[in-house]
Amino acid sequence: MARGNDIRKKKVLEIILKAHIDHAEPVSSKYVSQLIGLSSATIRSLMTEMEGEGYLVQPHTSAGRIPTERAYRDYVNTLLDTWESNIEEIKRLNDELFRRYQRYNELVAHISYSIARLTHYMAFSVYPMDHLYLDGASYILEQPEFDNMRAIKKILNTLEEKEKMLERIGVYLAAGALKIHIGHENAIDGFEACSVVTASYKVRNKVVGGVGIIGPVRMKYKKVVPLVRYLADSISRMLERAYE
């Protein structure tokens, strides 16, 4: 962002991002003004600057602003090393899964359901890079971004082509690390309005599968990313012990 009003613009963008993630609605200058202690006119001026810089967009003439994919990308990048998460909730899910399913194939077959139930996003697991388990499609279709038939049809068409989905997800997992693809960064046709978070699990440094979440661009990244990363690491450790 341009210097000068950087600190104020950063604060305004943080407020808009949080509000958009929570409510999926354009954020007004009045709302921001009430939280930041600046006049609505000043907030509108800052919003206009950020719109010109590619961080905000105004969907309707009289509406507030929403963050762009660029804003979400910068937001995610700044959080990569400082994720805030409810680690106890993640550990409980992890312990529950490992108690209930002692065998690797059983664990992978059920983990996507558990992730979807916890996050209310669509989740998937891959075992062992040739079988795709997918759960929670109804959750993503409940998101306000997908409340029209055209958007729903694109997603459903993609979900029906499991082989193509597995191929693209396999590319993400083969990178061997946590990956976050936002909006049009996605190579999965039909998911241009989605974000995809993936993490692979390995045996002896070889990727054999992975887990991931598909949700709207305004995904709750602070909750989702630590969960995906933690579970993938746990499965990797389980596999390493099994092959020792």
Confidence band, pLDDT 50/70/90 cuts, at residue 85:
low
Collect all residues with Cβ–Cβ distance below 8 Å to 240 and sequence separation of at least 6: 203, 204
Boundaries of every domain in the chain: 6-67, 87-243
Q: What is the pLDDT of residue 128?
A: 82
Q: Which residues contact 133 (CB under 8 A, 6 or more apart)?
A: 108, 109, 111, 112, 113, 124, 125, 126, 127
Find the mean pLDDT for residues 196-215: 93
- Helix ranges, 80-214 (H): 87-100, 104-119, 137-141, 149-160, 162-174
Tens digit of each residue's pLDDT (9 = 90 or more) over 62-75: 779 999 999 999 99
How confident is the model over 118-134, as pLDDT tens digits? 999 999 999 888 899 99
Q: Which of 113, 88, 87, 108 is nearest to 98 (CA)?
A: 108
Residue 8 φ/ψ, nearest 5 degrees: -65, -40
Q: Are 235 and 227 in contact (CB under 8 A)?
A: no
Tokens of 73: 């990308």
Q: Is the pTM of this model over 0.85?
A: yes
Beta bridge partners of 170: none
The three-class DSSP label of residue 114 is helix
3-state secondary structure of 26: coil
Helices (H), the chain: 6-23, 29-36, 40-52, 69-79, 87-100, 104-119, 137-141, 149-160, 162-174, 221-243
> When comparing pLDDT for 182 and 141, which is higher?
182
What's the CATH superfamily of 87-243?
Answer: GAF domain (3.30.450.40)
Task: List C-alpha distances in Å: 34 to 23, 40, 65.
Answer: 17, 9, 16
Of the listed ranges 86-95, 162-171, 181-190, 220-229, the least confidently predicted one is 86-95
On whether the 6-67 domain is CATH 1.10.10.10, my answer is yes
Tokens of 184: 């049009």
Per-residue CA distances from 140 to 86, 122, 151, 244 (Å): 22, 6, 11, 39
Question: Does 114 have pLDDT greater than 50?
Answer: yes
Q: What is the mean pLDDT of residues 190-207?
A: 91
Least confident of 41-45, 58-62, 213-217: 58-62
Residue listed under structure tokens 């979807």: 116
| Residue, of 61 and 217, whose pLDDT is higher | 217
Backbone angles phi, psi at 57, to 5 degrees: -140, 145
What is the torsional sign of CA 73, 78, 81, 85? negative
pLDDT score recorded for residue 1: 45
